[in-house]
Amino acid sequence: MKNFRRITVQSFVPEELQELKEFSYNLWWSWKPNAQKLFRTLGDELWYDVEHNPLKLLKYLSQNQFNTKANDPEFLDMMKSVMDEFNHYMSRKDTWFDETYPEKEDFLVAYFSAEFGIHESVPVYSGGLGILAGDHCKSASDLGIPLVGVGMMYKQGYFNQQIDGDGNQENMYPSYDFGEIPILLIRDEKGNPRKIFINLPGRKVYAQIWRMQAGRTSIYLLDTDIQENLPEDRILTSQLYGGDHEMRITQELLLGIGGVRALRLLGYKPSVWHMNEGHSAFLVLERVRELVEEGMAFDVAKEIVSSSSIFTTHTPVSAGHDAFDEALMHKYFDHCFQNYGLDWNTFYMLGRDVNKNFSMTVLAMKMAKSCNGVSRLHGEVSRRLWSDIWKDIPVSEIPISHVTNGIHTETWVSREFRKLYNEYLGDDWIVRIDNPEMWETVNDIPAGRLWDVHKIRKQRLVDVVKQRIRNRDQRNGVPQYITDRALENLTPDALFIGFARRFATYKRATLLFRDIERLKRLVSNREKPVVFFFAGKAHPADRPGQSLIKEIYHISMSEPFLGKIFILENYNMTLARYLVSGVDIWLNNPRRPREASGTSGEKVPVNGGINFSVLDGWWVEGFNGKNGWTIGEPKEYANNDIQDSEDSANLYYTLENAIIPEYFERSNGDPYSEAWIRRMKESIRSVTPVYSTHRMVKDYMNNLYKPAFEHKQLLTVNNYKKAKELVEWKQKIVHAWKDVWVTEINPVEEFINTLHMQITCDVMLDGLNPEDVKVEVYLVREYQEDQAPVSVVELKLKKKNTEGRYVYAGTVEIPKAGTYSYNVRVRPWHKDLLHPFETGMIRWMQIVS
């Protein structure tokens, strides 16, 4: 066959509609229904065909459609209304940040993440981490918090998933046309792309910079697919989470070091630097290099950099954290580690983990004074997981806090529920999302009205599932009659249960199938139909995860489960919206405590859905006994098989005896269960205001960003005077600490009959002054040394004995009778420490058995 030259004929956009094209590049429209309606009005069917991408919509509209709308007064009025709303949003000076922090004019957060899930039209995300980052940026924009994002512009993005006729996952890597993605290339005054470079062994790698705009928040994405680079470097930004360790380290060098250079090139001067997971941790080295090249000593540079660095960890297992062996680190840092003012061993120790590899998480934690997990339980797990970094510090006091994740409510609430809330909560509910009192009004929504809206969303899910299953089966050659049988009884009258997430083995996608006969009985009741929807991708290298997909596919195509179990391919933001707004129950059953947060379940309640989950991640905090159901017990297990067996048995029991009976408990001829409606309302009321990124980002601002900003300001005034003093003090502490000890004078008897005890101690400070330390009694319940203490009581200096030795004493109150353990400790103290344990040093009294 002859070859043909490809051409694309584009329609001319009339002058009256030119503003629409510019507007398309700000993804603000992606969470504003009036803006989406505007695009949808241009071409309803085409809007869905182009997957809600306005640039593709404008590209494929006919000239006649353009001309018709350009002369349609009603459409032009709608466009003006949307533009007015957008311009008001962008120019507001009365945001939450403006009113809460009016004096912080120089404040700016630089937010680094390997992925950003703002909208499906910009495919630079894979899952929860990216969606969280996108929602974080949107709420920062809504709240007026000055924030700029830094990430990567992946040419092929994360893969598209297809499931073949045998249930195998097929990984499709499309090459995207950047002209159809709402991002803009940053150019200089001559129109040339602006570029940065980083040094890799024997060469430079260049990257151009794209800007993705999400309301007020700019997100800059680095792209190495340019002519200046070697072929192996052009593919650095081809795939998200692709390749081997060498690919990963080069991507992370680009993100961290290149990201800092991109912000500098564009004139940004961030006051706070937020690393969203460890992928970007090399940014701290670049910031240190900048200061060392100005003549600053490394220790002082580290003090400045760490004071203004925030690190958020999302991974509760050590294997999920990137780490590189020393040979690979030598390859990529031999040419530059001296630039940090360090010898090799000192440099390598910045990230050395217990396996002697260079861990990105260890680097981030050692170089950021502010670290946090993404739920309360995850904070506890992270403190245990990384306790080696803070040796001898009690686990409960390790400086890893938590900020529980939330969702950007406007992004995930369906149109129908938004209209319902407008009617009953007021048109301004969207600016009061995190106000719990406002959500009490949900109880005033008539049961019938709430159910009718929910049924609309269930029907939308039915329509989407039918279309996707027909497309998949037709592609795979499945006989038409089998597809028809699977779909013929799929109606919104059934109880819909959804499970959608990454198919990692610890998430236990197949827990439901441990007892096939019991499940068969559960779904075979014609009077009480139950349908399960599964969706999710397994990493291309995760064979066990892919085998779970195959197992579920085969079960779904088997006779007892045909039409009762559906597995949907290519889980992305589009499909997620239909699932979280269309199911009755959101099922989440990870192996506790390996779910850091699990934000997918937070998207369901705002749409009237209910959670049925293991007490892990956010659900530990969110469950109140009335707003959903739990799976299993929050305890430790001897092995995984016992845990899986107990959890699956509990899952079946709850479905059989609580969830299904309550859903179908109909009376008075109502098409709904009154008990179910009460639980729906409680789910909406209790979850929506708390698990919002508006609350989450305010927590980051108040508890992490603001203290970091003020701490850095303190250290940098007067030519870094405070930073230099703090470094000198820390060096003094390190030098003297080996000779510091504490011993008790007249130890307390083992059995006492009072609720207080007098403690007197002899403390050797060896050259340190009493104002350099705190001496404290640490009281815990017996055998609970890893738990939070009952009390920590500071002892007071009573007298100086001999040179370097001091007597401290005090009274410790005991709350009630029982068995306790106590010890006395000495820890360094300085008024300019951001966290009391940032030195990582502590001395405990030696107990003689």
The string of DSSP letters for 771-825 reads: GGEEEEEEEEETT-TTSPPSEEEEPEEEEE-STTEEEEEEEEE-SSSS-EEEEEE
pLDDT band at 303 (very low <50, low <70, confident <90, very high): very high
Domain with 523 in it: 432-688
Question: In this structure, are residues 155 and 225 in contact, taking their beta carbons and an 8 Å threshold?
Answer: yes
pLDDT confidence tier of residue 2, bands split at 50, 70 and 90 = low
Banded pLDDT at 849 (limits 50, 70, 90): low
Q: What is the 3-state secondary structure (H, E, C) of 199-222?
A: EECCEEEEEEEEEEEECCEEEEEE
Give the pLDDT confidence score for residue 292 in this predicted structure.
Answer: 97
Number of neighbours of residue 48 by Cβ within 10 angstroms? 11
Q: Could you give the number of structural domains in the chain? A: 4
Q: How far apart are CA 423 and CA 445, in angstroms?
A: 9
Q: CA dist 499 to 566, 619, 623, Å? A: 10, 15, 18
With b meaning 16 or more CB within 10 Å and e meaning fewer, what string describes 237-258? bbbbbbeeeebbbbbbbbbbbb
Clarify whether residues 262 and 299 are in a common domain.
yes
Among residues 655, 688, 721, which one ends one of the domains? 688
Please name every residue paired with 312 in a beta bridge, in sequence order, or none if there are none. 276, 372
Write out the two tokens for 553.
């596919």
| Angle value at C-alpha 369, between 296 and 132, nearest 5 degrees | 120
Residue 634 CB contacts under 8 Å (≥ 6 apart), including other chains: 592, 615, 620
Does the structure show a pLDDT above 70 at 483?
A: yes
- The per-residue pLDDT for range 348-403, each reduced to its tens digit, is 999 999 999 999 999 999 999 999 999 999 999 999 999 999 999 999 999 999 99
Residues 20 and 162 in one domain: no
- Tell which residue, 150, 680, 235, 776, has the closest CA to residue 443: 680
pLDDT of residue 494: 97
Question: Are 75 and 141 in a shared domain?
Answer: no
Mean predicted confidence (pLDDT) in 421-438 = 95
Largest CA distance in the chain: 99
Report whether pLDDT(10) > 80: no
| pLDDT level of residue 847 (50, 70, 90 thresholds) | confident
Q: What is the DSSP letter of 185?
A: E
Share of the chain above pLDDT 90, in %: 86
Tell me the pLDDT tens digit for each residue of 684-712.
999 999 999 999 999 999 999 999 999 99
Q: What is the pLDDT at residue 787?
A: 81
CA distance 554 to 818: 57
The secondary element (H helix, E strand) that includes residue 261 is helix 259-265
For position 618, which CATH number holds? 3.40.50.2000
Residue 668 in this model has a pLDDT that exceeds 60? yes
Q: How confident is the model at residue 9 (pLDDT cuts 50, 70, 90)?
A: low
Quick one: which of 568, 432, 410, 406 has its CA closest to 503?
568
**Same domain? 162 vs 309:** yes
Find the mean pLDDT for residues 529-537: 97
Question: Are 239 and 308 members of one domain?
Answer: yes
Residues 762 and 623 in one domain: no
Summarize pLDDT for 67-122 with one digit per residue, the tens.
999 999 999 999 999 999 999 999 999 999 999 999 888 899 999 999 999 999 99
Domain annotation covers residue 702 = no
Closest CA to 302 of 258, 347, 241: 347
Tell me the backbone φ, ψ of residue 829, rounded to 5 degrees.
Answer: -140, 135
Q: How far apart are CA 172 and CA 174, in angstroms?
A: 6
Structure tokens at 233: 């470097």
Q: Is 87 in the same domain as 201?
A: no
Quote the pLDDT of residue 669: 83
Give domain status of residue 409, yes or no. no
Q: Is 343 a member of any domain?
A: yes
| pLDDT at residue number 803 | 84
Which amino acid is it at 151? G
Give a three-class secondary structure readout of 345-414: HHHHHCCECCCCCEEHHHHHHHHCCEEEECCHHHHHHHHHHCHHHHCCCCHHHCCEEECCCCECHHHHCC
Give the mean model confidence (pLDDT) for residues 525-554.
95
User: Does residue 638 form part of some domain?
Assistant: yes
> What pLDDT was estimated at residue 383?
95
Judge if 24 and 128 occupy the same domain.
no
> What is the pLDDT at residue 16?
86
CA–CA dist 524, 565 (Å, integer): 12
Q: What's the distance, Cα to Cα, between the start and end of the chain in Å?
A: 90
Distance CA 351, CA 324 (A): 10
Q: Does pLDDT of 783 surpass 90?
A: no
Q: Which of 315, 192, 200 is nearest to 247 (CA)?
A: 200
Grade residue 206 by pLDDT with cuts at 50, 70 and 90: very high
- Contact between 403 and 703 under an 8 Å Cβ cutoff? The reply is yes
Whether residues 650 and 570 share a domain: the answer is yes
Asked, for residue 507, whether it belongs to a domain, the answer is: yes
Place of tokens 């559906």: 566
CA separation for the pair 244, 229 (Å, rounded): 20
Residue 315 and residue 438 in one domain: no
Tokens 């939308």, located at residue:
460
Residue 407 lies inside a defined structural domain of this protein: no
pLDDT for 724-782, tens place per residue? Answer: 999 999 999 999 999 999 999 988 888 888 898 999 999 999 889 999 999 999 999 98
Q: What are the pLDDT digits (tens) for 239-266?
A: 888 778 999 999 999 999 999 999 999 9
Element (H, E) at 415: helix 415-425
Strand, coil or helix: 706: helix
Q: Are both 65 and 186 inside the same structural domain?
A: no
Does residue 588 register a pLDDT over 60? yes
326 membership: H or E segment, kind and range: helix 326-333
pLDDT tier at 8, thresholds 50, 70, 90: low
- Chain position carrying tokens 């701290």: 284
Whether the per-residue pLDDT at 525 is higher than 90: the answer is yes
Give counts: helices (H), strands (E), the chain. 31, 28
User: Parallel, antiparallel, or unpaired: how do β-strands 791-794 and 323-324 relate?
Assistant: unpaired
Residue 7's pLDDT band (boundaries 50, 70, 90)? low
Are the C-beta atoms of 836 and 827 separated by less than 8 Å? yes
Query: 647 in helix, strand or coil?
Result: helix
pLDDT band per the 50, 70, 90 thresholds, residue 816: very high
Give the CA-trace dihedral at 616, 618, 622, 627, to 10 degrees: -70
Residue 658: how many other CB atoms lie within 10 Å: 12
Domain containing 830 — which CATH number?
2.60.40
DSSP 26: B
Phi, psi of 99 (to 5 degrees): -85, -25
641's CB contacts (< 8 A; 6+ apart) are none
* pLDDT tens-digit series, residues 484-511: 999 999 999 999 999 999 898 899 999 9
The answer, yes or no, to whether the previous bond of 14 is cis (omega within 30 of 0) is no
Mean pLDDT to the nearest integer, 294-312: 97
**Mean pLDDT value across residues 311-340:** 92
How do 756-764 and 741-745 pair as beta strands? Answer: antiparallel
Q: Give domain status of residue 5, yes or no.
A: no
DSSP 588: E
Residue 718 inside a domain? The answer is no
Instruction: From 662, 688, 714, give the residue that closes a domain.
Output: 688
- Is residue 6's pLDDT more than 80? no
Rounded Cα distance, 419 and 545, in Å:
39
Same domain for 636 and 569: yes
Give the residues across from 370 on adjacent strands.
310
Q: Are strands 184-185 and 203-214 parallel, antiparallel or unpaired?
A: antiparallel
Confidence of residue 449 (pLDDT cuts 50, 70, 90): very high
Q: Coil, strand or helix: which one is 487?
A: helix
Reference 716, options 294, 87, 198; nearest CA is 294
pLDDT attached to residue 667: 85
Q: Identify whether the C-beta of residue 311 lies closer than 8 Å to the C-beta of residue 289.
A: no
Q: Assess contact for 136 and 217: CB atoms under 8 A.
A: no
Share of the chain above pLDDT 70, in %: 99
Mean of per-residue pLDDT scores for the chain: 94
> Phi, psi (5° rounding) for residue 282?
-65, -10
Model pTM?
A: 0.96
Q: CA-to-CA distance for 74 and 42, rounded, in angstroms?
A: 12
